[in-house]
A and B are shown apart, each in its own frame.
Chain A
Amino acid sequence: MQAKKDEMKRELENEIRVQQAQGLLASIDEKCFAKCITKPGTSMSRTEETCLSRCLDRYMEAFDIVSRVYLARIQRERIDRST
């Protein structure tokens, strides 16, 4: 019974994690395509590849900044409310 429960929990968590990862990837595709592939050619150029990999890194960095600021705010409001 316990094993079955744990398995179900793991499956649910995984499902959500996969969905979130897919959503994030879709955003990165959209934003970085817009920024880097300004004039689609017959193949991807070195410049475009460089742009895409920087764009990916910056998007992840933006994600980190946003989550840091957001979580700090939630924390702050929780403390405000409890005092």
Chain B
Amino acid sequence: MSQFNEETQKEMQTFIEQLRASSQLQQNIANFTNKCWDKCVSGTPSTSFSSSEQGCLANCVERFLDTSVFIVKRIEEQRANRGFT
């Protein structure tokens, strides 16, 4: 990228940052689909999802996100507690 001037380098950096963020988002969607498929889709695939499978997939995403929030909170609590003893 040394062939570019400073302004252009900055522009490309911003572009790459945005690309990284959007690809992380896509990566998460793919990852959640993979995990929630295992949890929610049972038996031989049919021509449509049952409403309980649909509900499970939606809940699965929400609870996965809750899980990661909870774990971070828990670790912070433990670290704070250790600070007092």
Contact = CB atoms under 8 A, between A and B. Distances in A.
Interface of A: 1, 5, 8-9, 12-13, 16, 20, 23-24, 27, 31-32, 35-36, 51, 54-55, 57-59, 61-63, 65-67, 69-70, 73
Main secondary structure of the interface of A (DSSP, over half): helix
Contacts, number: 83
Main secondary structure of the interface of B (DSSP, over half): helix
A58 B50 CA distance: 11
Interface of B: 4, 8, 11-12, 15-16, 19, 23, 26-30, 32-34, 36-38, 40-41, 44-49, 54, 57-58, 60-62, 65
Contacts of A16: 19, 23
B30 A62 contact: no
A16 B15 CA distance: 13
A54 B46 contact: yes
A20 B19 contact: no
